[in-house]
Structure 1
């Protein structure tokens, strides 16, 4: 069901309910006011009757003058059949009455209002005792007279509302349609947009109720655009970087097929294996980079560093053994927790593996790579030559590798480290190790998380 139909349905249900409640209280209040008015008139009539017939009781006729006939010129709109008066003496004998008063019951020693059924009709009667107890006066009125007035007033009030109800519903439908017009305009604008149009939707002329939704949509557009930019950049970089290794592999395979001697074939196969290793490392690093830049937030838990260090060193151990590099890890003094952190264990393993892999790969053979944990920092030192200022500035660029490197690489490891560190509120600082020798990489909390 559409929002417009839902609002109209609620209005159609709630409006009669509200009218019904208001009508109920209006009838109740009108009944109270009318009863108060007519009760006052009955009291006044009974007192007038008592003061009029009291001095001459028993000396005049025992009946009141006849009531004006219906249609008489002086009758007006009155209906005297709904009124009755009667007077009884102390023995209960009817002394004075009109035509309707004959039927009123005699209630000796009773004063005040009584609701009685007289000749099948409900009456409200007021009884008044004389001061000396010689007679009793009663003035009554048919309850129908009061109800007729109440219902007449209510009908006169409700009838106009019922007559204008169709017009009111039409106005409400128009108002609901006008109120929901911004939603229809927004839907039309989104429908007309191209798939690559992620420009924010202006919200200046938008109703206040829709602005939170527009802000959320604009934020979503921004995130989608950033994701598309990353994906396009990743695709372009992958196409660019994979083109050369594939061409080299094809050329090396041609050399292997055309090798004339066993020695030449062995050398060609070694070069082909090296090319395959470079291709495997490039694809692995690109998949890792794609994962950390996917925009999906990792699930953070309390980090326990020893298993992460053990896994990362195990992954780097074959390269360290080949290059005769010693891997070492220094922990903080007993009683101090090494760099407390909430993070993703798998991503932190990738980060530490890339740091150790770069340190081992570019350290001189026969040296050491040391991983040090402090209370709020993590550092990796090797004995390689210090990097130039230009190299330090460009570290982290995708597919950038300083000149003169002998080991194979893709130039993506530092980019991956930067991205994972950013996700964990860390920053990566490159510098020179102690005594101006070697390269040091330090992980520390960024300015926001310090």
Structure 2
């Protein structure tokens, strides 16, 4: 009950549906009870009119006597439905019971008019009338039959309420749901957006009461977009401005190396040059991250993943050979995907660079293309330590390094990969290359179906 009250307070749609349903039920119950009682009383009035008409007919016809019912003819008809007509006082001398068709034992002192009497343990409605010749007669009918007829008529009157009210409740619930459907559609559209999609929402289909809220959200999205653009510009400008002094420092360190100096000084110079080189690599990664988070590169033609592999391997082969890592493309399958060629190269290069850095000497790095769930997928596997399941969400954060890592890097490689994947609508999945030993890293990038042009097997690896 508490959970329902909480949902009722939190949901306008549920509150509106429940309020309208309760209001309809209350009105229907009140109207139904009033209709039932009115129809019940009206049926009794009509039955009383029948008694009056029978009495008037007897008076007009001036029947001299009333037939005896001792012959049992009443048994051929409906006993409860019969109307008893007798002279007042005839029942006192009769030996025939009422159930056998005999007259009612009515007191002769009854006043003219309608009476509800209990005769012989049964309830009767009796009309007493004095005829034109001064004779007093009684017209009676059993009350149980009258009540049954009245109830049936009253229930027939209420039956439309019993049928239409549930239908009306369903119509109201469906109508309320349809009224809130545009809001739910806008909410789903916003929820499915990527982080970089900050364009205004379409408020044309929204109700007038909700439209100001949508306009406020659009203004907020605009301010957020401006703030993110300013942040990206700042990172790109700062990285660009810092490249020049670092390049100058690198050149001065190279010239200083040619000078005569002691062995300790030369060792310190080597450390200085390594630090300068790391700073330059960090600035390059910052520029790549800013570019990856900016507007997507327009794709004019499909890009071959195997072609991207070849270009990346040409650049990173010296790094792999220095660690004696067996690296190459596995299989003959290729996929043509829609995407900027530079984006594809940056994505694959950062993944392969990470794999080489974290794979121990003499390890293995494999690149492959396959089809997963009907989508083109590239897969990069290595024999390194892998990434723990608890850290797989955080490794895409900028500057985050896995615990216990001894590799030198900027911590921006996977952030660049994630930014490019989100921008082109691809999905990244991380796993172990060896599930039994829970070691090694397998990175699978699944491209959207609409981006996949063809998957064929006529490509031969280098």
- TM (normalized to structure 1)? 0.44
Instruction: Kindly indicate whether structure 1 or structure 2 has the higher relative contact order, using CA contacts under 8 Å at least 6 residues apart.
Output: 2
TM-score relative to the length of structure 2:
0.43
Between structure 1 and structure 2, the one with the greater Rg is 1
